Structure 1
Amino acid sequence: MKKAYYSKRIYKNMLPKVHVDAISHSLLLFNRAKHFAFQTQVMEKRSGKSKRDNSLHLTVKKCFDLNDYYTNSVVQEANALMTSQSELKKMYISTKEEQIKSVKKKIKTTKGRVTTLTNIKRSFIKGKPSFTKTSREQQKGSFFVVQFKKKTDLYYHAYQFEHHYLDIQLKALKERLGRLEFRLDRLQKQLKTLRNQTKSVVFGSKKLFKRQHTLHHYRNDHKLWLEDWERSRYNKMTISGRKDAKYGNFVFTYISETKISISPP
């Protein structure tokens, strides 16, 4: 059973500078270790081989000189992100497959219309207009009609029907068919890329990364963007709980009587 604990909020401006600096350093170190753990797994997945001799836990611990408690949380966060990306990939693949299915259906329908109108056009060229029973285009006496759901278009003679309707419709349908085939090709390439590639993550958000080149105040002051970028990348950390710890875990402890969370020296 999960429990939600409430604690008193502590503001940076109420703490001594030495504590604020220590917290900032911990956030920086934790997030850099998390980025390293995640990117290591991404590179290994892309290449299909591992260049490390030890487990990811021991590699991160040694590289960043962390204790087991921090390292465990770092690896858990990285693994959770890898799992999330894997699930997203499955969702994106499923969406692309549905889009491809929809486009193929539209192509089939459009080709059917092109075939129908082409056969009608050929019959007009031969001087013997003929129509299929299921087409919306029909001949009524000396007139030619096109029946839509809410209206009916009337053409008074063969020349008008052939050149003012058939030619225009065939041109539009062929252009639409070309656009659909182009879209199908692009979707199939995107699907292939999704299946074969392992994407990484832009920590700090891709949107903020691009803003260094698009927003006026960032273009004129790169240092300002860098501060916001680092704040976005290193602004939080999650320390996993421990069942065998009396007050939550061995890094931070929560005293339920006073609703205060403290960390060991």
Structure 2
Amino acid sequence: MRIETNSSTRIYKNKLSFENLNNLSNILYVVNEAKIKAYSILVYNHEKSLSQSIHLTIKNMFNLNTYYTNYAVCEAKWNKSSNVELNKMYIDDLKQNINHREKSAKDLINKIKFWSKIHTHIIDISKAIKNSKSLPKFKYYRPYYFYMSDDKIFVEANYKNKSIIYNIYDFEHALVVKKISRLTNKLNMIKRGISYQKQKLARLNTSAVKSCFGTKKLFKAQHTLYKDHFAWKEDFYKARHKTIELQGLNTVT
């Protein structure tokens, strides 16, 4: 049986002196800036060009002790590894979405071909009537059947529970032309979506795995929720530098 003992010391701001509060604020700022810098070094693969280890580089750059350095570097590594895994999930989801949309596009293309064949057949019939030529052989496009009655051409649609008879002119303009137009618009929208998602997939595969310290939601809010940009900068600054978690022995310096 394993027993773990965790203890923490809670610090209340109203019981601290003004000097200690300033020191805490300074620690929060410097350590979180060190974390952001460490993340940048790891993500953009600048670690290879360092003359020292990343721990010593951050420690010397920000004049930190071992506690703060460990926090900054470990937090940056955790952020990077979690973002890499999230990026893989996004890529898999995008690939599935693109495949699904491409299948939908193929189905729409087949439907457009079907209705275009019907439209071509109607145009051939109309040309033959206009030029007083013999009518082409009526074709059957399931469930639509062309036939002549009393020197007029009709289209009968045989559905499961009912049959509908159209005048050929009404059938062309009320159904066929509108169907082709609607399906074509839908196909163009899907193609634009596929193109956008392929560009996004290329960016995810090639660009560095970025992270927004201070939350992405708050970063976007500067353009929508805040009328005063200074007020947003203050909130974003607080969100980026609000917490640190230190672990280890108090004998380490």
Task: Report the TM-score when normalising by structure 2.
Answer: 0.81
C-alpha contact (below 8 Å) 1:120/1:129 kept by paired residues: no
- Tell me how far 1:56 sits from its aligned partner: 0.8
* Corresponding letter in the other structure for 1:193: R
Cross-structure match for 1:116: 114
Secondary structure at the counterpart of residue 99 of structure 2: helix
Q: Following superposition of structure 1 onto structure 2, how do residues 13-162 of structure 1 map, counting pairs within 5 Å? A: 13-44=14-45, 50-127=48-125, 128-132=137-141, 135-138=142-145, 143-145=155-157, 147=159, 154-162=164-172
Cross-structure match for 1:256: none
- Tell me how far 1:104 sits from its aligned partner: 0.5
* Corresponding letter in the other structure for 1:11: Y
C-alpha contact (below 8 Å) 1:61/1:68 kept by paired residues: yes
Cross-structure match for 2:129: none
C-alpha contact (below 8 Å) 2:80/2:209 kept by paired residues: no
2:20 paired with 1:10: no
Cross-structure match for 2:234: 227
- Tell me how far 1:98 sits from its aligned partner: 1.0
- Tell me how far 1:12 sits from its aligned partner: 0.5
Secondary structure at the counterpart of residue 157 of structure 2: strand
- Tell me how far 1:50 sits from its aligned partner: 3.5
For the pair shown, which has the larger CA radius of gyration, 1 or 2?
2
Secondary structure at the counterpart of residue 160 of structure 1: helix
Q: Distance in 1 between matches of 2:162 and 2:7?
A: 69
2:209 paired with 1:193: no
For structure 1, which segment, 91-100 or 210-219, has the greater mean C-alpha deviation from structure 2 after superposition?
A: 210-219
The number of residue pairs the alignment matches comes to: 236
2:214 paired with 1:204: yes
User: Relative to structure 1, is the Cα distance of residues 212 and 186 closer, same or farther in structure 2, using a 3 angstrom cutoff?
Assistant: closer
Cross-structure match for 2:134: none
Q: Distance in 2 between matches of 1:64 and 1:188?
A: 41
Cross-structure match for 1:243: none
C-alpha contact (below 8 Å) 2:214/2:239 kept by paired residues: yes
Cross-structure match for 1:239: 246
Task: Report the TM-score when normalising by structure 1.
Answer: 0.77
Consecutive unaligned residues of structure 1, counting only runs of 5 or more, are 241-248, 253-263
C-alpha contact (below 8 Å) 2:138/2:147 kept by paired residues: no
Equivalent pairs: percent with the same residue? Answer: 28
Consecutive unaligned residues of structure 2, counting only runs of 5 or more, are 126-136, 149-153
Q: Distance in 2 between matches of 1:214 and 1:6?
A: 42
User: Relative to structure 1, is the Cα distance of residues 193 and 153 closer, same or farther in structure 2, using a 3 angstrom cutoff?
Assistant: farther
Instruction: Indicate the RMSD between aligned Cα atoms, in angstroms.
Output: 2.9
Q: Distance in 1 between matches of 2:52 and 2:220?
A: 36
